[in-house]
């Protein structure tokens, strides 16, 4: 052990120095607290033996400085003192002393207290080493967990790591709202683009849509090529109506983001950028871990998933089609137009379908302009008209007015 002795009495200091040297310790001795502090800053020590009463910097002040040195490893401190009052001992302990040795000291007692200090230092150093190893291991685990999280829905990942989900085969029947989207004519687009350009475009699209899924609290089930399957209501739910509304609001946010993306892609010279269909329904599904103990997937199955996919395929490009079950949950907050019923395999009757037009809040704020007749249909969302698209709309409307006027 490397030991620092701070003792202003020459006889006592030399006695300590000789005795500790005989016991095999590396000893540095000084005659006052100021020198002791300088020595402590200059080198690393395992044990400090300090007198209490020294000129200038006292033993108590020295101990306080040592304990305040955050960049130093743990040091075991023994105070030499002739003081025996309880309040003095309390003062020393409060300052940071670990043990006391009464002057004049007994060699046997000194050896015992040093042995205790050595054990304490070794335990402390071992604990520090184990703590550092544990911290490094935890860092590796966090890095690995972060990598693995990329293969799970953020909602499911968080649920597992918070202990809410078990990694075992188990499912339950729950009422969910299911979202399904697909890119229109993706096969034709993939044949037209180089594989690298297609991958870049698709990843940009999926990244933008995934950010919105996370923002609205949806559970991203999977990507199926260019298709996206999302559900609301598991593992967390805000109630059937709120789950359904958040799903529809998510889809509308995706619509708006797609407008921005198409403008960006067109400005970059990309021909025929993506257009997306979306379908939403609400109903009971089986949800949970499917597969085997070797590999499982947290997903949903049931005819409602097929219905969401069918609604998507019947939706006009860049529009959202919802089932009657979802419409019933959101009709007080979302404006919809009734469409032709959808025939779906597995359902005895055609399914009533509604096209999402926007929120009632948007309508009350005057952001939407709509008109429909057998000869003319208009839906204009002025809140989302930006830049080049606004100029194009104005030009097209002016041209249409000119043609109507010319036909009179």
In a domain, 313, yes or no: yes
Q: What is the DSSP letter of 73?
A: P
In a domain, 281, yes or no: yes
Tokens encoding 133: 């190893």
Query: Tell me, what's the pLDDT at 215?
Result: 93
DSSP H/E element including 76: strand 76-81
In a domain, 342, yes or no: yes
Query: Do 326 and 374 reside in the same domain of the chain?
Result: no
> Residue 378 belongs to what domain range?
368-408
Query: Do 357 and 377 reside in the same domain of the chain?
Result: no
Query: Tell me, what's the pLDDT at 333?
Result: 93
Q: Is the dihedral of CA 193, 194, 195, 200 positive or negative?
A: negative
How far is the C-alpha of 141 from the C-alpha of 152, rounded, in Å?
Answer: 16
For 329, phi and psi rounded to 5 degrees?
-85, -25
Query: Do 247 and 120 reside in the same domain of the chain?
Result: no
Query: Tell me, what's the pLDDT at 251?
Result: 96
Q: Is 119 exposed, middle or buried (0-12, 13-18, 19+ CB in 10 A)?
A: exposed
Query: Do 11 and 105 reside in the same domain of the chain?
Result: yes
Is 106 within 8 Å of 153 (Cβ atoms)?
Answer: no
In a domain, 159, yes or no: no
What is the CB-side half-sphere exposure of residue 121 using CA atoms within 13 A? Answer: 21
Query: Tell me, what's the pLDDT at 320?
Result: 95
Query: Tell me, what's the pLDDT at 406?
Result: 83
Query: Tell me, what's the pLDDT at 148?
Result: 65
In a domain, 331, yes or no: yes
Query: Do 303 and 405 reside in the same domain of the chain?
Result: no
Query: Do 313 and 405 reside in the same domain of the chain?
Result: no
User: pTM of the prediction?
Assistant: 0.60
Query: Do 360 and 227 reside in the same domain of the chain?
Result: yes
From 189, 211, 396, 377, select the one nearest 276 (Cα to Cα).
Answer: 189
Query: Tell me, what's the pLDDT at 132?
Result: 85
Query: Do 224 and 341 reside in the same domain of the chain?
Result: yes
Task: Work out the angle at residue 187's Cα, subtended by the Cα atoms of residues 185 and 191, and round it to the nearest 5 degrees.
Answer: 120
What is the CB-side half-sphere exposure of residue 362 using CA atoms within 13 A? Answer: 20
Number of compact structural domains in the chain: 3
**Which residues of the chain have a pLDDT value below 70?**
148-153, 157, 160-165, 167, 271-272, 362-377, 383-384, 386
From 100, 89, 78, select the one nearest 25 (Cα to Cα).
Answer: 78
């Amino acid at each position: 052990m490397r030991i620092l002795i701070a003792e202003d009495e020459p006889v006592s200091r030399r006695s300590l120095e000789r005795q500790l040297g005989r016991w095999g310790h590396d000893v540095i001795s000084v005659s006052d607290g100021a020198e002791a502090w300088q020595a402590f800053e200059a080198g690393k020590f395992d044990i400090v033996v300090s007198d209490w009463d020294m000129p200038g910097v006292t033993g108590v002040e020295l101990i306080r400085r040592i304990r305040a040195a955050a960049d130093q490893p743990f040091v075991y401190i023994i105070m030499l003192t002739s003081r025996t009052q309880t309040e003095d001992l309390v003062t020393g302990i409060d300052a940071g002393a670990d043990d006391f040795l009464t002057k004049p000291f007994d060699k046997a007692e000194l050896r015992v207290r040093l042995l205790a200090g050595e054990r304490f230092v070794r335990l402390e150093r071992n604990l520090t080493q184990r703590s550092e190893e544990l911290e490094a291991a935890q860092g590796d685990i966090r890095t690995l967990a972060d990598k693995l999280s990329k293969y799970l829905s953020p909602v499911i990942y968080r649920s597992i790591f918070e202990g809410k989900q078990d990694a075992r085969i188990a499912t339950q029947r729950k009422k969910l709202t299911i979202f399904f989207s697909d890119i229109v004519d993706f096969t034709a687009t993939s044949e037209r683009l180089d594989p690298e350009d297609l991958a870049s475009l698709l990843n940009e699209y999926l990244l933008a849509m995934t950010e919105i899924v996370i923002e609205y609290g949806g559970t991203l089930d999977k990507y199926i090529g260019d298709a996206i399957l999302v559900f609301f209501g598991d593992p967390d739910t805000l109630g059937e109506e709120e789950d359904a509304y958040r799903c529809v609001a998510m889809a509308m946010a995706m619509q708006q983001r797609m407008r921005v993306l198409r403008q960006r892609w067109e400005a970059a010279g990309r021909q025929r950028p993506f257009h997306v269909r979306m379908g939403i329904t609400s109903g009971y599904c089986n949800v949970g871990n499917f597969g085997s103990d070797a590999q499982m997937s947290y997903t949903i199955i049931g005819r409602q998933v097929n219905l969401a996919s069918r609604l998507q395929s019947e939706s006009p490009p860049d529009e959202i089609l919802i089932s009657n079950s979802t419409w019933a949950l959101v009709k007080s907050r979302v404006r919809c137009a009734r469409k032709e019923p959808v025939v779906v395999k597995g359902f005895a009757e055609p399914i009533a379908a509604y096209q999402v037009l926007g929120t009632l809040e948007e309508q009350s704020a005057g952001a939407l302009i709509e008109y429909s007749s057998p000869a003319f249909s208009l839906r204009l969302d002025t809140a989302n008209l930006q830049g080049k698209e606004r100029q194009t709309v104005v030009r097209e409307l002016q041209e249409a007015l000119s043609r109507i006027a010319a036909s009179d």
